[in-house]
Amino acid sequence: MIAEIIQYSDFKMIPDILPPESHLFLRLQPIDMMSQWKRIGMVSDFTAEFFGQHQSLGNLTKNFVSTVVNELVENAAKFAKPRNGLIDLDLKFYSSLIKIEVRNIVSERMRGNFEMHIKRVLTGDIEKMYFDHLESLVSKADTSGIGYLLMYKDYPIRFGFQFKRLESDKHEVTVEAYLNIIEH
């Protein structure tokens, strides 16, 4: 089977061949993150401190990095298939940008749901979608989908997405977040 690959938005805005000034790669297991949610916070705080110490980033910027890593790793863990699979977290520092790349494996259904959500976010009015989503929370407890809306709404961030079919019910999803730490 030939892998079907679909990309959205700013995927590979910074090509892989461009050498970063600093680089951190972590491989995580969704089961570890799901069984101990605090671990996601520990990973995100660690990554923020790692880059913060090296580049003398302020607390606001470190919080920005931590929040984005937390959201991306949490989503990757929550929707991973299988639960004992792997999540790759790859962070690279380029002068005024931090590139955060999260890759995991999801089911056909999860890929479809996420891809549909991403298409809506990329073409919709973020402010309106955010407030509509908040209003819908009054009648239901499901907060799914609000994380990306918050990040687009509140931070100087650009995203790229890639969906790659590996098998009929096995899809590799890669999310790239580009954080402009000078603007923040």
For position 175, what pLDDT does the model report? Answer: 97
Is residue 129 one of the residues assigned to a domain? yes
Share of the chain above pLDDT 90, in %: 46
19-66 pLDDT, tens digit per residue, is: 999 999 999 988 877 777 788 999 999 999 998 876 667 888 899 999
In a domain, 109, yes or no: yes
Considering the entire predicted model, what is its pTM? 0.90
Where is pLDDT greater, at 143 or 122?
122
Cα 77 from Cα 66, distance rounded (Å): 16
Range of the domain at 79: 4-12+22-180
pLDDT at 1: 58
Instruction: Answer yes or no: is 65 within a domain.
Output: yes
Locate the DSSP E strands across the chain: 4-9, 22-28, 87-94, 97-106, 157-167, 170-180
Q: Are 99 and 178 in contact (CB under 8 A)?
A: yes
What total of structural domains would you count in the chain?
Answer: 1
SS (H, E, C) 5-37: EEEEECCCCCCCCCCCCEEEEEEECHHHHHHCC
Rg from Cα positions in the chain: 16
Of 183 and 24, the structure prediction assigns the larger pLDDT to: 24
99 within some domain: yes
Assess if residue 102 is contained within a domain: yes
Q: Which two tokens stand for residue 66?
A: 């931590």
Query: Does any domain span residue 17?
Result: no
Q: What is the CATH number of the domain that holds 141?
A: 3.30.565.10
For residue 48, what pLDDT is reported?
A: 92
141 inside domain? yes
Closest CA to 103 of 61, 123, 125, 75: 75
